[in-house]
Amino acid sequence: MVTADLNTSGGVERAAAAALDLLGGIDVLVDNAGRNTQVPDGVLAASDEDWLANLDANLLSAVRLDRALVPHMTAQGHGAVVHVSSNAARYPQPNGAPYAAAKAALNAYSKSLALACGPHGVRVTAVMPGVIETDAVEASLREAAERTGRDLDTIRKEFHQRLAAPLGRPGRPEEAAELIAFLASPRASYLTGITVSIDGGLLPTL
């Protein structure tokens, strides 16, 4: 196992070097690092630190890792990169504007990288999960409960109602993982430059 702080250039370089040494090469890269540093008082209350924390974690971590590893894919003439974005990029919430903006930038960057790498046999796609019941989501709900002094179950219920998908439930991590595995596999060999939502039909836009 290789661990590193992807918010720093040095951490990314160490992780990339260790991974290449461990694996002997790279065929698939899934950029799944990220966090939602929320601003409870709304977008105008977001500080420079809030913005930079979200940009570092959700955009620049992927940029740094790609910069370190994708050249190995282009040199060998094949590979797949999957960026884990968020449907917040198209459905932003007032207390998560820095996060949503960073994920929207990740989508634009993914398209640019796909155009650059396609001629070298490397595919780049992005996945936009909706509400997925991960440990990070649960931690965020617990933090909100502690901050406001409200009941955790009530906050969880309100959260699910506010972002309720037509399927009537949050997604499971393994459902997002199945899509990522497909996009990284040879079965998706003619897919690149696309952004795919997996949100139970939550997004209200075309």
Residue 204 has pLDDT above 90, yes or no: no
| Domain regions of the chain by residue span | 26-198
Residue 163 has pLDDT above 80, yes or no: no
Place domain 26-198 in its CATH homologous superfamily.
NAD(P)-binding Rossmann-like Domain (3.40.50.720)
What mean pLDDT do residues 37-50 have?
91
Residue 162 has pLDDT above 80, yes or no: no
Torsional sign, CA 97, 141, 12, 70: negative
| Cβ atoms of 28 and 79 closer than 8 Å | yes
Please provide the average confidence, as pLDDT, over all residues in the chain.
93
Per-residue model confidence (pLDDT) at position 139: 86
What mean pLDDT do residues 107-111 have?
98
Residues 6+ apart with CB under 8 A from 93: 100
Would you call 99 a catalytic residue per the annotation?
yes
Residue 164 has pLDDT above 80, yes or no: no
